[in-house]
Amino acid sequence: MSESTTVERHSNGTTTVTSTKTAVDTNGNVFKVPDYSIKDILGAIPKECYNRSTLWSLHYVVRDVIAICIIGYVGTNYIPVWFPNSALLRFAAYMVQSYLIGLFGFGLWILAHECGHGAFSDSRLINDTVGWVLHSWWMVPYFSWKFSHSKHHKATGHMTRDMVFVPYTKKEYLEVKGKSKLKEITEEAPIVTLLTLIAQQIGGLQLYLATNATGQSYPGVPKFFKSHYWPTSPVFDAKDFWYIILSDIGIISTLSINYLWAKSYGSHVMLINWFVPWLWVNHWLVFVTFLQHTDPTMPHYDSNEWSFAKGAAATIDRNFGFVGQHIFHDIIETHVLHHYCSRIPFYNARVATEAIKKVMGEHYRYEGENMWLSLWKVARSCQFVDGDNGVLMFRNTNGIGQPCEE
């Protein structure tokens, strides 16, 4: 950990000396703390990128809902006809049906996420109505998520104020492992990493919503009472109370509708058209957000070093091909821009991203490798963060990359 000094001699005879704080990332490369301001970033974005069209946004909702209805209708009614004599083939076909519904279901989740940021429409009422319906559909408490997610955006990369995917420090990691020194911790077996990933992808979202797992710890507060369902949770402000209740009503409504659906048409219809797709939506949400905020090149900051411009740069854009661009509404490919200005609708985000890249320069992060491969690499190499100058970088006990000092 150190500072790099740059000396610039100007034609008028003056000299400018700038010092940039640095750290070493997991891969052993020197990381330089960003030195531009949020004003520099916002000033580079074309004004038309801020334009929001309610009708254009709604057309994506209609498109995704129609896709889900067509997939559900065709699968439910024709799979038994196509495969009348093979239970195995019917099961496989139903799983494909559920997978496809889950893709568009997560697309709808992303549109609800746009509503929470006010990027869907100029109307707050439209944003909150559409967002509440779509998030409730997939069992996410809309206002609860909106409020905590807003705090996440205001403090991204901040070790004591960020709201999600807050990594262990070296000290906390040792406490979790019940050890006093890193050398006492043996390398984590790949099978352990695999099982941890499976648990994270299936249950990570629900654990976060129910107990604020991976968020701030709030010592002394029982797990459920810091959940997204509890109206007096320390995650929220006192003024949010009735909005949290309204969020819970949305969840209860979804459960009630699905109960009546299963009772009227059979539990298997509800399972293949909502429950299994819901598991996929859970998976995609954790998959995407985890990889947006965790990477061997990514810093975190203590309270003395953090700034909004630095924290927003502690994110990364990745590439998920056709699905990422056309079904997941570019949430993966333009996430860095989203953290600098979340009011920009996703359909203007690519243009805005190109604009801010010119300001960010080397500080813009992009990884184009297969995201499943990235998931494995990140899980193996990013176990905790460490640093002594306010800039904390990921380290691990698996012998991958830069070793962590005792």
Give pLDDT, residue 11: 54
Q: Using the predicted structure, report yes or no on whether residue 397 has a pLDDT greater than 60.
A: yes
Best CA proximity match to 280, nearest among 97, 50, 91: 97
Q: What is the pLDDT of residues 95-127, one digit of tens each?
A: 999 999 999 999 999 999 999 999 999 999 999
Residues 6+ apart with CB under 8 A from 43: none
Q: What is the pLDDT of residues 302-321, one digit of tens each?
A: 999 999 999 999 999 999 99
In this prediction, residues 196-206 reach a mean pLDDT of: 91
Average pLDDT of the chain, as a whole number? 93
Give pLDDT, residue 247: 97
Q: Using the predicted structure, report yes or no on whether residue 1 has a pLDDT greater than 70.
A: no
Q: What is the DSSP letter of 399?
A: S
CB 333 within 8 A of CB 351: no
* Share above pLDDT 90 across residues of the chain, in percent, rounded to a whole number: 87
**The two three-digit tokens of residue 384, written as one number:** 């905790």
Give one word for 278, left, alpha or beta, with left for phi > 0 and alpha for psi -120 to 50: alpha
DSSP assignment of 83-145 equals: STT-HHHHHHHHHHHHHHHHHHHHHHHHHHHHHHHT-S-S-HHHHHHHHHHHHHHTT--HHHH
Global confidence as pTM: 0.92
Q: Using the predicted structure, report yes or no on whether residue 8 has a pLDDT greater than 60.
A: no
Best CA proximity match to 380, nearest among 210, 234, 191: 191
Give pLDDT, residue 2: 56
The Cβ of residue 229 has, within 10 Å, a number of other Cβ atoms equal to 16
**The two three-digit tokens of residue 61, written as one number:** 């909702």
**Range of weakest confidence among 141-150, 196-205, 349-358:** 196-205
Q: Using the predicted structure, report yes or no on whether residue 5 has a pLDDT greater than 80.
A: no
Per-residue confidence at 13, pLDDT binned at 50, 70, 90? low
How far, in Å, CA of 179 to CA of 136, rounded? 42
Give pLDDT, residue 19: 52
